[in-house]
Structure 1
Amino acid sequence: MIIEILNLIGFGLLGLASLPFVFFAVAVAFWRLWSFTIKPWLHPEDPVDLPYWIPYLGHSLSFFGNSDKLLEKGLNYVGRSHAIFGIQTLKRKLYIITDPADVSVAFNNNTALHFDGHLNELLINFGFSGEALRRAWHVPQPGDWCYLPGNAVNPDLISLNRLTEDVYRKQLLPGEKMDFLCKVFLESLTNTLNWENLDFCIVGNTEKGKLLSLQKLCRYTMVEATTQSLFGGHLHQLEPKIVDYMLRYNDNAWMVFFQYPDLFGTSPITEPRRMLTKVLEEFLQLPDEERNEQAWSIKTITAWQEVMGIDLRARASVLLMIYWAANSNEYNISFWVLAHVLHNPDLLQVVQDETEMAWVDGKLDIKYLCSRSPNLDAIFNEALRCNGGAMVSRIVMEPITIGDKLLKPGNAIIIPSRQLHMNEKVWGQNRREFDAFRFKRQKNLSRHPSYRPFGGGNTYCPGRVLAKEEVFGFLAILFRRFHLNLAEGVGPNGGRQNFPSLDDSSPALGITGPVKSHDVLISTMARTT
C-alpha cells in the first residue's frame, strides 16, 4: 500500500529505501515553511529571520566566510528597507540593525542592551578564567584583601574592569596623557621613516629610486610605533619579532572575537597568540624598574591586577586585548588614504601642501595639522566611510522594542558600520564610490547618525582623536622625508596599477584592509630639502 502511494506521487522504484530521505525532506520543508512563512505572519513584531536550510547551524559558515555578502543578502531580503532582521549562528541569533534612527536608539539604551555581557564574552575569548573574571568584576569592600582606601592607583575602589575602562579613556582622550603617547608614537615614526631603514618594505629598485610596498610600509611602521608608545622597547628586548607576531595575530583576530573553532591547534591565530601571550607574561614578570618605558595606562592597569590577585595568564590576556585594539585600525586606514592619494596626482599635491604647512622650524605641529587641513580631513573621513568594517555588538539583557521590532533577551545585536556607511538613502547612488571631498562639501555628514567609524554610545572609541593624530603624523613625516609617486609600468601587462580591492573574505573588526595580493607599489626618493 505504501509503495503504491509512493509510486503515485512520483517516487517509482525508489521504494522503501527512500523513505528516510523523503521523511527528512518533508520535515525540513515543513520546518522552513513554519520558521520563515507562518511564524513571521503570526508574529509581525519579531524581526524577520534570513532563511537558512540547516537548523542550529544557520548562517554560521556564511557569516565567517563573507559576513558583508551575508548582510547585503539580508538587506535585500527586507527590500532594502533597513528594517531589523535576524541572522542565526551556532551560538545565538544576531539582530542586524542598519537604520540610522534604530542605531541611535540602540546606542542610547545601556540597560536592555548592555555592553557588560559582550565584555564578559570578549574577556573569556581572550583568555580569562572563571576565577579571574569573578575577581575582575569584584568591587572592593571593607575587610577584603583588595580594600586599600586612599591608594593612588584605584582611589574610587571600583572593579578592575571599570578601572581598566576608566584608565583607557584617560590615556586616550585629549589631554596630557594622550599627548605624551602621541609624542612617543611620532618619535618612533621619525626613527623608522629614514632612507636607510626602509629594508622592511623595499621590493625593488628603479631609475627613480626605491620601489616600496605600501602594505608593508604602513603595516610595519604603524605597529612598531604603537608598540613603542605602549611598551617602549621592552617587548622588542624579549622578542625581536614582536611586530611580526602582532601583524599575524591582527590578520586573524576575528577568530578570537567570534570564537572560531581551532581544530587541533592548526588555526593561523594559534602560533602568534601563543607567542604574544608568552612575551606579555615575561614582560609582566619583569621588576618595575625594568618596565620604566611602559605607558601610564599599562602601568596602572597591571598594578591593580596584582592587587586583585589576577593570575598571570589572565593578566597577559588583558594586555594582549589592549595591544591588539591599539593596532587594529591605523595601518589599514593609512593604506587607504595613501592609495587614493597616490592614484590621483591632484590629491597628492593637495595633501603634500597641507602637511608641509604643519612643519615649523623643522618640527611637526600635529595639533595644527589635524585642525587646519580641511582637504586631508575630508579624505580621511571618506576613507573611514568606505573601508570601515567594524561591527558593534551588544547582548540583549531584557526585551526592547526598536522601531516596530521586539528584540528578545539572550540574543545579540550587531551594528555593522559598512552597511550604515553604504546606506543608499543617506549617501546616494554613488555611495560605493570614493568621493574625496564629500565631507568637505557637506560638513554635517561627519555628525550624521549613519556615519559611525568609531562606534557610539558608552563605547564610543576614546582613541579617535589619537588615531587621527597618528595617521596624520605618519603622512606628514612620510611626505617630509620622501618624494612619493605611484610606480609606473608595474600594473597588468606593464600598464598602470589597478586600485586595490577591499578584503571582505572574513568578518571585520575595524578598518578593513586590502586583498593581500592587491598591493600598491611606490616609486620613492629621499628629499634633500
Structure 2
Amino acid sequence: MPFQKIYVINAPQLIQAVQNKTNLTTFVPTLLDFGMLFSGLKTRSKQTLTKAFGVHGNGFTKSVHKYLASGSDLQAATRTAVEKLTASTRNIPATQDQVGLYETLRHQLCLALTGAIYGAENPYDDPAVETSWLDFVPGISHLLYSPFPSLTARKSLKARARVIKAFQNYFETGGHTQAFAMIPEMFNTHLNHGLSTAEAAKLEMATSLAMLSSGAICAFWLMFHIISDPDALRECRRELLNLVVNEVVTSTGKAKVLDLSSVKTQCPILMAMWHETLRYHSTVINIKKVQHDTTLASRYYLKKGAIVMIPGTAIHHDTDTWGSSASTFDHTRFFTAEGRMKLSNTTAFRPFGAGTTMCPGRHFSTSAILSLVAMILLQFDIEPVEGQWQMPTKKNADMWNAMPKPDHDVPVRVCQRCENNLSGTEWKFVWGATAEENE
C-alpha cells in the first residue's frame, strides 16, 4: 500500500502475542477508520467522533456488545427475526420457475435482520432502499482504495445518498423510537457527541454493513454444501425433525412446532456443516494499527503507525493446524473432540475475528442464518437448474468482506417437500418457546 507499512502475521504464536491483554493498547483496531471511510461523514464529524471515541470508547461496538452479545435482549431480537423469517419464507416461490439461490437467501435475511433491529419503520422494507443498498455495496472497494471514488464509484455514491436520506427521514419522523433498543441508544449517543441528525444517519451505513455484508453469503455457502450433498441433507433434516416440540391446531389443520433455539445444541451435523463452511470459506482479515514502536515476541520490531494484518485464509487452511485436508471441505472434521476444541482456539479458528475486535453481532446473525436454513430445508426441495451442482468460483470477491461472495448466483428450482410422510405438512417456527406456550 502506498505510504503505509504493513506487517502480515499468520504464525499462531505471534497471533497470540498480538491478542495478549498486555498488548491491547499497542495494537488497536481500525474499525472506526473503516466505517468513516465509506459512510460519507464530513471531516468535522470524523474529528468529533474520533475525539469522542477516544474519551468514551467506540459507541457502536459498546452498544452492540450490550444488546447482542448475550441475554434477554439478544433473545428478543432473534425471536423477532425468526418471526419475520417464518412469514417471509412462506412467500418463496415454489414453482418450476428458476430463482437465484443466493439472491433468495439474501432478500430473506435482509428483511429479517433489519426488521428485527430497525423496527416497524424499517427503511429496508421499501424495495427502493434495498435496491439502493445493493447498488452501493460494489462501490465500497473504490471508497476504500481508489484515489478518485467520485469518478470510479458514481453509481455507488448516488445509491449511498438515497439510503442515507431514507435513514435521515427515519430518525426525523421518530422511526427509531419503535426500534430495537440499541438503535435509539446509538442515535442519542451520536447526538450527544455533537453530530447532527443528518450526520448520524450516515453512520447507519456502518450498522447496515455489519448486518448485511456477510450473513447472506454465509447462508448461501452453508445451504449449497448441504443441498449438494444428499447424505448431509438427509441427516440435517433428520436432526431438525427432532426439534419438534408440539403440534398446534390451525385454521387449515395442524402445524408442527419447532423450537429453533435448540439447533446449536441438538443438531451436531448441521453445526459441523456450519463451522466447516466458516473455516473453508472465511477470508476475514483482522487489521490493527501499531500505536508505538514495539518488539513483538522479543524478536520482531514493529514501527509506530504501521498496520498489522492477520489473514484468516492462511490460518484456516494451515496444514499444521488442520492436517493435509486443510484445503478440502470436510464437515466431518468437527465430529471429533480434537476438531471441536479448535473452535474455541482463536489462533486456529477465527471467522468472526478475535479479541476486542471479534464480531459482537455474531450470535444474532448466526441464529438467524441457521433458522433460515432450517426453515427452507424442512419446507422445500431445491434442485439445480443445470442438472448437477457446480460450486461457483469466488475469484472476484471483495477483499474487505469477511466472506467471499460467489462470482455468480446458482440458478435453482424450488418446490414444496414431496416426501409421503411430510407432504402438505404445516410448520410453525419459534425461538426459545416451550411446548406449553404454543398449545
Give the TM bin, normalised by the shorter chain: 0.7 to 0.9
**2:317 aligned with 1:447:** no
**2:106 aligned with 1:219:** yes
Residue equivalent to 2:18: 106
Contact 2:243/2:262 (<8 A) preserved = yes
Residue equivalent to 2:311: 416
Contact 1:118/1:395 (<8 A) preserved = no
CA distance in 1: counterparts of 2:5 and 2:154, whole angstroms: 25
Contact 2:124/2:130 (<8 A) preserved = no
- Post-superposition Cα deviations, 1:493-512, rounded to whole Å, max 9, x if no partner, equal xx523222224443142111
Runs (5+) with no aligned partner, structure 2: 247-255, 418-422, 426-439
Cα pair distance change 1:389/1:520, threshold 3 Å? farther
1:401 shift after superposition: 2.4
Superposition map of 1:342-361 within 5 A: 342-361=227-246
CA distance in 1: counterparts of 2:407 and 2:152, whole angstroms: 25
Residue equivalent to 2:283: 389
Cα pair distance change 1:182/1:440, threshold 3 Å? same
Q: Which has the higher contact order (CA 8 A, sep 6+)?
A: 2
**2:397 aligned with 1:512:** no
Superposition map of 1:205-354 within 5 A: 205-206=95-96, 210-236=97-123, 239-258=126-145, 261-264=148-151, 266-286=153-173, 288=174, 290-354=175-239
CA distance in 2: counterparts of 1:525 and 1:232, whole angstroms: 31
- Post-superposition Cα deviations, 1:206-232, rounded to whole Å, max 9, x if no partner, equal 3xxx54321111111111111201212
SS in 2 for 1:360: strand
Contact 1:211/1:524 (<8 A) preserved = no
1:250 shift after superposition: 3.4
Superposition map of 1:458-469 within 5 A: 458-469=356-367
Runs (5+) with no aligned partner, structure 1: 1-88, 141-157
Residue equivalent to 2:32: 119
1:91 shift after superposition: 4.4
Q: 2:58 aligns with which of 147, 162, 169?
A: 162
Residue equivalent to 1:502: 394
1:384 shift after superposition: 0.3
Contact 1:213/1:519 (<8 A) preserved = yes
Residue equivalent to 1:429: 324
Contact 1:500/1:520 (<8 A) preserved = no
Residue equivalent to 1:92: 4
Cα pair distance change 1:236/1:481, threshold 3 Å? farther
CA distance in 1: counterparts of 2:204 and 2:2, whole angstroms: 29
After the TM superposition, which of the residue ranges 296-305 and 229-238 deviates more from structure 2?
229-238
Task: Choose 1 or 2 for highest CA Rg.
Answer: 1
SS in 1 for 2:287: strand
TM-score (norm. length: structure 2): 0.85
CA distance in 2: counterparts of 1:525 and 1:110, whole angstroms: 52
CA distance in 1: counterparts of 2:276 and 2:51, whole angstroms: 42
Cα pair distance change 1:391/1:453, threshold 3 Å? same
SS in 2 for 1:114: strand
Superposition map of 1:186-197 within 5 A: 186-194=82-90, 197=91
Residue equivalent to 1:183: 79
Q: 2:46 aligns with which of 133, 137, 143?
A: 133
Cα pair distance change 1:249/1:363, threshold 3 Å? farther
Cα pair distance change 1:214/1:182, threshold 3 Å? same
CA distance in 2: counterparts of 1:193 and 1:238, whole angstroms: 16
Contact 1:127/1:313 (<8 A) preserved = no
After the TM superposition, which of the residue ranges 129-138 and 165-174 deviates more from structure 2?
129-138
CA distance in 2: counterparts of 1:402 and 1:474, whole angstroms: 43
CA distance in 2: counterparts of 1:437 and 1:259, whole angstroms: 42
Cα pair distance change 1:424/1:300, threshold 3 Å? same
* Percentage of matched positions with identical amino acids: 19
Residue equivalent to 1:407: 302
Contact 1:382/1:435 (<8 A) preserved = yes
After the TM superposition, which of the residue ranges 185-194 and 397-406 deviates more from structure 2?
397-406
Cα pair distance change 1:161/1:247, threshold 3 Å? farther
- Equivalent residue letter for 2:342: L
Number of residue pairs matched by the alignment: 405
1:364 shift after superposition: 3.2
1:477 shift after superposition: 1.6
Contact 2:61/2:360 (<8 A) preserved = no
After the TM superposition, which of the residue ranges 210-219 and 389-398 deviates more from structure 2?
210-219
Contact 1:136/1:160 (<8 A) preserved = no
- Post-superposition Cα deviations, 1:252-289, rounded to whole Å, max 9, x if no partner, equal 43444446641426445323212111111111211x3x
Superposition map of 1:138-157 within 5 A: 138=51
SS in 2 for 1:198: coil
Cα pair distance change 1:139/1:344, threshold 3 Å? closer
- Equivalent residue letter for 1:127: G
SS in 2 for 1:364: strand
SS in 1 for 2:402: coil
1:515 shift after superposition: 1.0
Contact 1:249/1:269 (<8 A) preserved = yes
Cα pair distance change 1:315/1:211, threshold 3 Å? same
CA distance in 1: counterparts of 2:147 and 2:364, whole angstroms: 31
Contact 1:136/1:159 (<8 A) preserved = no
